[in-house]
C-alpha cells in the first residue's frame, strides 16, 4: 500500500483556474491603483464582470482597452473580449 503523500502528489500541481485568473486580474489592477477583491470578479462567456462601486467601475471602463490588453498578455488562453 502506498503512503498518502505519494497518492496525493499527482494532484499537487492542480490549481483552481478561476481563482488564479482572479488573483492575476486583481494584481494587474493593483498596479494601476485600482483596488478590487477576487470576490468581486466573475466570468461569463467572454466577459469579465467586476461588481464594485461606480467610481472604481468608471476608472476601469476609462482604461478598458489598456486593461484588456494586459489581461490578454498575462493570462494564457485569454478569450476575454469585454469588461463590465
Residue-level pLDDT, tens digit, the chain, 84 residues? 778 877 777 777 666 678 888 898 899 999 989 899 999 999 888 888 999 999 999 999 899 899 888 888 887 666 777 788
Q: Tell whether 38 is covered by a domain.
A: yes
Which triple of cell numbers denotes residue 52? 464594485
pLDDT the model gives residue 79? 74
83: helix, strand or coil: strand
* First-to-final CA distance of the chain: 52
Domain count for the chain: 1
Domain that includes residue 57, residue range = 15-83
Say if 45 falls within a structural domain.
yes
Whether 70 is in a domain gets the answer yes
Within a domain: 28: yes
Residue 59 in any domain: the answer is: yes
Q: How many helices (H) and strands (E) does the chain have?
A: 4, 3
The reported pTM is 0.74
- Determine contact, residues 28/20, Cβ cutoff 8 Å: no
12 Ramachandran zone, left/alpha/beta (phi>0; psi -120 to 50):
alpha
How far, in Å, CA of 72 to CA of 82, rounded? Answer: 11
pLDDT value for 32: 87
Amino acid at each position: 500500500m502506498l503512503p498518502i503523500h505519494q497518492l496525493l502528489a499527482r494532484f499537487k500541481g492542480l490549481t483552481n483556474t478561476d481563482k488564479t485568473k482572479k488573483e492575476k486580474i486583481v494584481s494587474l489592477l493593483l498596479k494601476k491603483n485600482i483596488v478590487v477583491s477576487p470576490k468581486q470578479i466573475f466570468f461569463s462567456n467572454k466577459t469579465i464582470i467586476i461588481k464594485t462601486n461606480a467610481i472604481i467601475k468608471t476608472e476601469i471602463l476609462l482604461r478598458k482597452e489598456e486593461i484588456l490588453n494586459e489581461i490578454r498578455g498575462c493570462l494564457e488562453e485569454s478569450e476575454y473580449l469585454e469588461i463590465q
